[in-house]
Structure 1
Amino acid sequence: MTATRVPGPPGRPLLGSLLDLRRDPLGTYLAARHDHGDVVRFLIGPPGLRGELYLVASPEGVQQVLATESANFRKDNVFYGEVRASFGNGLLTSQDEDYVRQRRLVQPLFTRRRVDQYADAIGIETAALAARWAAAPDGVVDAADEMSRFALRTVSRILFGQDVEQAVDTVHEAFPVLGAFVRSRGFAPVRLPREWPLPGHRKALEAERSLYAVCDAIIARRAAEGVTEDREGEDLLGLLAKARDEDGNGLDATELREQVLIFLLAGHETTATSLTFALHLLGKHPEHQRLAHQEAAALLADGRRPTAADYPQLPYLTRVLKEAMRLFPAAPAVGRRAVAATVVGGVGIPAGADVLIAPYVTHRHPGHWDDPERFDPERFTPEREAGRHRYAWFPFGGGPRACIGQHFSMLESVLALAVLLREFEITAVDTEVPLGQGITLEVRGPVRLKLTRRQAG
């Protein structure tokens, strides 16, 4: 197929589309796909420093970037460089031999059998959350804040076991600061050196130091205690410390910290986002909430904590979660950089170009989703999923770098939703939620829910 010039918005004479992308990136992506098609070129920055960004919106193009030509689209862009600088070179950001080695070391810790053992930690934190909600003085909670804290405590308990309390407050305070810093630098046309003593730089550096310090302290104490051979029931940090490659080599203290930081980032912000919007949407759609409640209440009628074996018995709740992740994907846009010139969707993308794939856009593609803004969990029946393009829905990415924690995120979210819907009827107070884009999808306002305690039986 012959490549043609990629269409796109002209932007402003001085800064191109930079201000639009900083002010409302998600709306700008959607408008560009609507106006210009499935491959769109944005001009960004002032003349002389102007860059180009190519948005690929079709499932076929996404598959090309993530899977069939994944070697040509690398994590060499500015945004991943900023994430790497703040959070380290863990599984999310590493490449080439580093990534292959890390994936081989970590993969055995995320098998279904191993992840299913984390259900007890999920149950402990969900029970504590439900008890706190029952005591909410006015019966109103902010789902975004509550789910962020819940998901952070859950992944911290799985990572650190009994050391959960030592880590959670520091992480809760530091992550938003570093996320905002990464976002601002990722969209900046000029990035000043991080070591310059500017107010924002100092604040981010202090957050980074406190985050590193708490992780390093836990890792050092574990190393001083030594390790045992009993791997059953051990927290994830202990398992990471014991992991060895085929040459018998493991992760050193710095590598351990970098993996822990990436797991904390990816394992709590993404799940928190999915849970927030699943609850928000159910609070707006009582007919769907009624069906989800009936399923959860029937399965957990005796008031027990759910187990991993309950997860397959909650198909409607799983469909609700998947539909929430379609409308509000935790990673709304993902960047790559093209190594060599290529053709996507019949148009040319040059070597060295920044390329963006956006689940937020592709999940609304009118060629693959009827009435795409409507909340409809029945889109995810097995029959309808089987008839859909593999990359029409990809909240966990795809190809050789698909998210290693997909099963964990789904398990945690579905089990937590089951308990909360068994215990509470939920009504959305805020029917519209302003959004932004950072490392993950950002909520720019409250997501309040009115809780009504359900009567037993």
Structure 2
Amino acid sequence: MSAAAAADSGFVPAFPERYERRLPLIRLIRTLRENSIGTWTREAFERDIIVYRFGFRPVVVANHPDLIRHVMLDNAASYERDPVGKRLLEPGLGQGLLTSEGAVWKRQRRMMAPIFQPRRLSGFAAIMTERSTALADRLSRQPSDQPVDMAREMMLLTLDIIAQTMFGADTTTDVSTVGGAMDRYQATVRPNIPDLLGLPRWVPRPSVREGQAALAGMDAIIRDLIRRRRDRAAAGGDLGGDLLGLLLAAEDDEGGSRLDDREVRDQMATFFLAGHETTATALAWIWYLLAHAPAVEAKLRAELAAVLGGRPAEYGDYDKLAYTRMVVEEAMRLYPPAHTTARLAMADDRFGDLEMPAGTNVIISPWLMHRHRLYWPQPDVFDPENFAPERVAARRRYIYLPFGAGPRICIGQGFAMIEAVLILATLAQRLHCRMVPGSIVQPVGKITLRPTPGLPMTIESRRQ
């Protein structure tokens, strides 16, 4: 263990109780609906493959990196995203990159890829730095004895950033309505009992209507934005250089087709959830971890002082902030925002001696893999040195999956990493954050892995 981790080794980052045996069915379903990471037994963090049945469906928990590669890469064409996850997301995200399959997904991926090339990211980075600096200015004036919910502050910051990058050319957009809609969606959408039991699609699922209702205000705003942009282009204007403009201008290089209004809406909703919620959650956990790890925080501050010298971080600093990136990566190991995914076998498959008939649900959980006893020497210790280059080179692939893997790896991972590093660097050199004494924070797995009930912290400015 590193010197920094050793100095802070009395701190054990929070995690839910790990049970000795599987919960009874009714309690299991109730827990899944409230906190999906709160159902795992100890053996899930110790065994490489677990097989059982849930309702009418065979289930395989894939904790073996070669099995994960098999399902997500080598034989990915034989698997689709599991129906429970799709039915949770489709009411809000429609047929976006996270929920579409087959030829539809391939076309979308081809059309989206140019939007996230490095030449685009450098322009988005300027927005990230500008908004982070504004937040640092505001929080540095915060009375040191007045608590701030840093989880909420990170949500508001990434909301501001994604709104600027998505539709910055329309400065009158009601961003709070969009953000509030996403918050209601997160609170409303949870696994349905019919889905968990594998019952047919015709069985009613109330959360579908609730999820659609939660996003009604956001949909109205997005439809209006799309209409105005198309009208402007028809009158001889441009579509704009933000994400909305890039989506409207995107062409499929295999046929030249463009996205229709519904497809643009679905991609915007997807980008909003993935580009706002996940990064904010990761940043919130970083502040929680740093508040309990003074030696790590000191090493982080030393790098920031050497590289930045007090100025805000910029796109060109990203490659120089090696330890800052390690802190971000380690936080996402302990608290992966996208904590669980699953694949449904569409045909009979086999991995070694393991038979996976069509209909098998294969669970791939970064929450399990990132804290697994077989792959990490001290899985519950906060140690950014886990991501030192020599350790990364020596580690097996497919045991660290914060952005997924295979063809469906997150298309926005470059955006997310740059955003997290620039925000952390800009804020950490100016703010000293500590947990309010007596605060208890627990990870709760909904769509993302949120710190619950929040992250109450006191803040001191480093510029006295």
Task: State the distance in 2 between where 1:421 and 1:55 align.
Answer: 38
Q: In the TM superposition, what is the alpha-carbon distance from 1:345 to its structure 2 partner? A: 6.2
Q: In the TM superposition, what is the alpha-carbon distance from 1:273 to its structure 2 partner? A: 1.1
Residue in 1 aligned with 2:276?
A: 268
Residue in 2 aligned with 1:31?
A: 42
Residue in 2 aligned with 1:360?
A: 367
Residue in 1 aligned with 2:80?
A: 74
- The 5 Å alignment of 1:18-417 reads 18-34=29-45, 37-45=47-55, 50-137=56-143, 138-163=145-170, 166-185=173-192, 189=197, 203-226=210-233, 234-246=241-253, 247-303=255-311, 305-344=312-351, 346-417=353-424
Task: State the distance in 2 between where 1:193 and 1:126 align.
Answer: 47
Task: State the distance in 1 between where 2:109 and 2:64 align.
Answer: 28
User: What do residues 321-356 of structure 1 show as CA deviations (whole Å, max 9, x unaligned)?
Assistant: 000000000111001101122234642222112221
User: What do residues 252-290 of structure 1 show as CA deviations (whole Å, max 9, x unaligned)?
Assistant: 111111110000011111101111111111111011111
- Judging changes above 3 Å, is the alpha-carbon distance between structure 1 residues 188 and 250 closer, same or farther for their aligned structure 2 residues? same
Task: State the distance in 2 between where 1:283 and 1:117 align.
Answer: 32
SS in 2 for 1:250: coil
SS in 2 for 1:343: strand
The normalised TM-score by structure 2 is: 0.87
Contact 2:373 2:379 in 1 (8 A): yes
Q: In the TM superposition, what is the alpha-carbon distance from 1:152 to its structure 2 partner? A: 1.4
Gaps of 5+ in 1: 1-7
Q: In the TM superposition, what is the alpha-carbon distance from 1:316 to its structure 2 partner? A: 0.5
CA RMSD of aligned residues (A): 2.6
User: What do residues 380-411 of structure 1 show as CA deviations (whole Å, max 9, x unaligned)?
Assistant: 01111011111111101111111111111000
Aligned length: 439
SS in 2 for 1:390: coil
Which 10-residue stretch deviates more, 408-417 or 184-193?
184-193
Q: Match of 2:393, as an amino acid? A: A
Residue in 2 aligned with 1:5?
A: none
SS in 2 for 1:427: strand
Q: Match of 1:65, as an amino acid? A: V
Task: State the distance in 1 between where 2:34 and 2:201 align.
Answer: 21
Task: State the distance in 2 between where 1:80 and 1:201 align.
Answer: 11
Contact 1:158 1:236 in 2 (8 A): yes
Gaps of 5+ in 2: 1-19
User: What do residues 147-179 of structure 1 show as CA deviations (whole Å, max 9, x unaligned)?
Assistant: 111111111110101435524211221112222
User: What do residues 348-389 of structure 1 show as CA deviations (whole Å, max 9, x unaligned)?
Assistant: 222112221000100111121011000000110111101111
Which 10-residue stretch deviates more, 187-196 or 352-361?
187-196
Q: In the TM superposition, what is the alpha-carbon distance from 1:201 to its structure 2 partner? A: 6.5
Contact 2:162 2:276 in 1 (8 A): yes
Give identity over the alignment, percent: 35
Q: In the TM superposition, what is the alpha-carbon distance from 1:180 to its structure 2 partner? A: 3.2
SS in 1 for 2:60: strand
Contact 1:9 1:42 in 2 (8 A): no
Is 1:450 the counterpart of 2:458? The answer is yes
Is 1:437 the counterpart of 2:445? The answer is yes
